[in-house]
Amino acid sequence: MMTTNKSILSYCCLFIFILINPIESASYRPVVIIHGVLTGSESMEQISARIQETHPGTQIFNTPRYAGWSSLEPMWHQVEEIGQDLMAISAAFPEGINLLGYSQGGLLARAILQRFPDHNVRTFISLSSPQAGQYGTKFLHLFFPGLVCETAFELFYSRVGQHTSVGNYWNDPYHQKLYFEYSKFLPLVNNEEQSGNSSDFKLGLTKLKKLVLIGGPDDGVITPWQSSQFGYYKFNETVVEMRNREIYQTDAIGLKTLDKANKLMTYTVPGVTHDQWHKNMTLVDLYILPHLD
């Protein structure tokens, strides 16, 4: 389902309202929520309602942008547009805001923090997101029938493939040369490939008060599931957990800095499938709400 002009107009009107009206201080910081691939803001309404129920008065900004098929647009396009929204919200709430991203939305959210290092996000919660990349095709069969991991690189590591969000974070452990040659998103935001923005990309994360990474072994979509916590495959599909990977050990994007300052938290939750992370209210109560102050 595509984002409607009406929903975008309503969202813009809300921004105008908060910018021209004084904001009364509330007990809880506003929360910006970014949905996953092939869904929209409606998929995050249940978790939004739970936050408001348990934290009365919380302002929720559940982005309607890039819903449905448009969620497959290139990641940098989405980062720029949703990032501008987040910065407008930041300006309206100078005391700070919180950010929650689910699935692809968690990777988008992280890249937004890096692309816009002047943000005032205090806590960022990444909920089952492919932070280190994706090497699984189960969720892709709806729009790429017959696609398998072994040959997916032929599509994603091409000019055409890089015009899809999934192609931008496809990380094939057997074709790393092509990954670095074609991918113009994930190697950059992971500072695996240096750019003029590398310092900002690190600053955007290290300024957080808290980074929360949530995932689990029964996810069934994020592959490997440890990608949700910056773990990933070596060339032979042996998973290396975050603290043993170069991205952590060299502190490429500030994970080690956050960890040493006790600002990095990981939660491994068994028994949760990918489509239930944002619908399981017990999980929300235990692992998300305590960090939304």
* Residues known to be catalytic: 103, 219, 274
d(CA 131, CA 139): 16
Q: Comparing C-alpha atoms, which of 276, 275, 250, 253 is closest to residue 264?
A: 253
What are the tokens at 174?
């057997």
d(CA 84, CA 86): 5
DSSP β-bridge partners for residue 274: none
d(CA 124, CA 97): 9
